[in-house]
Amino acid sequence: MIEFRSASVVVPDGDGHATILQPTTLRLAERRISVIGGNGSGKSTLARLINGLVEPAAGAVQITPHPAGRPLDTARDGAAVRRAVGFVFTDPAAQLIMPTVAEDVALSLRRSHRDKRERHAAALAVLERFGLAALAERSVHALSGGQKQLLAIASILAGDPAILVADEPTTLLDLRNARMIGDLLFSLPQQLVVVTHDLELAARADRTLVVDSGRVVFDGEPAAAIAHYRALAAAPERT
């Protein structure tokens, strides 16, 4: 479960400070949540608050990874939050840092598997699960775009997070790979928060948030949320 308590994000700019996200209060308990909005609307900032990549200037964001567990504050309990919340970036190159496919997954297993041989075996098992076993010794730089995003997701899920946040995970992919990644994300047991411009993908969620000008302006059933977003996009630009 994810909870925003009057959480806002303010950053310095040339004139003083700019508010990127207005005070936001939400309780997100659904298994599948999508977030849509225009470029610069604040939707990625909202997503990054969930795992502490961005900290609120005021208010708080808490996650409860397991029903019987205690809530974790994203600012105060940063390390524990990042273990519980996996984050998928738009560009997998931001996450693939080891030379080979197997080594990249193994890096995510260093906490749970101290022995190097056991860690390598566990990494191969993860790759098998995601259909990447044949690429274990391949350079991460030699992968296709879809393979890179799949590897990035596999590496994150190797750590068994309770929540997965995906920030525009299909934007750089062709149609076939976008569908493959979308199908994978929506098949996972983890609670999923996906930020996307792909309205077909957004429509698969249980609940959809529409973000505009740093505010959640609609929160509800996906079809109604998408209709609201389309109406916003069709409205004359505000000056």
Write out pLDDT tens, residues 7-18.
999 998 877 889
- Whether 42 shows a pLDDT value over 70: the answer reads yes
The pLDDT assigned to 14 comes to: 75
The Cα–Cα gap between 106 and 59 comes to 36
Domain boundaries, the chain: 2-234
Residue 81: pLDDT band by 50, 70, 90 thresholds? very high
pTM attached to this predicted model: 0.92
What mean pLDDT, rounded, does the chain reach?
A: 94
pLDDT tens for residues 182-230?
999 999 999 999 999 999 999 999 999 999 999 999 999 999 999 999 9
Residue 130 is given by DSSP the state T
The pLDDT assigned to 114 comes to: 87
- Residues 20-45: what's their mean pLDDT? 97
pLDDT tens for residues 108-127?
999 889 899 999 999 999 99
The Cα–Cα gap between 162 and 151 comes to 18
The pLDDT assigned to 105 comes to: 96
pLDDT tens for residues 133-155?
999 999 999 999 999 999 999 99
The Cα–Cα gap between 70 and 52 comes to 17
The Cα–Cα gap between 164 and 190 comes to 6
Length of the chain counted residue by residue: 239
The pLDDT assigned to 235 comes to: 82
Q: Does residue 205 sit in helix, strand or coil?
A: coil
Residues 6+ apart with CB under 8 A from 152: 88, 89, 92, 95, 96
**Residue 193's closest CA among 163, 217, 238, 220?**
163
The Cα–Cα gap between 228 and 6 comes to 23
User: What share of the chain in percent tops pLDDT 90?
Assistant: 90
Write out the DSSP string of 135-183: GTTSBGGGS-HHHHHHHHHHHHHTT--SEEEEESTTTTS-HHHHHHHHH
Return the CATH number of 2-234, one of 1.10.10.10, 3.40.50.300, 3.40.50.2300, 3.40.50.1370: 3.40.50.300
Residue 238: pLDDT band by 50, 70, 90 thresholds? low
The pLDDT assigned to 39 comes to: 93
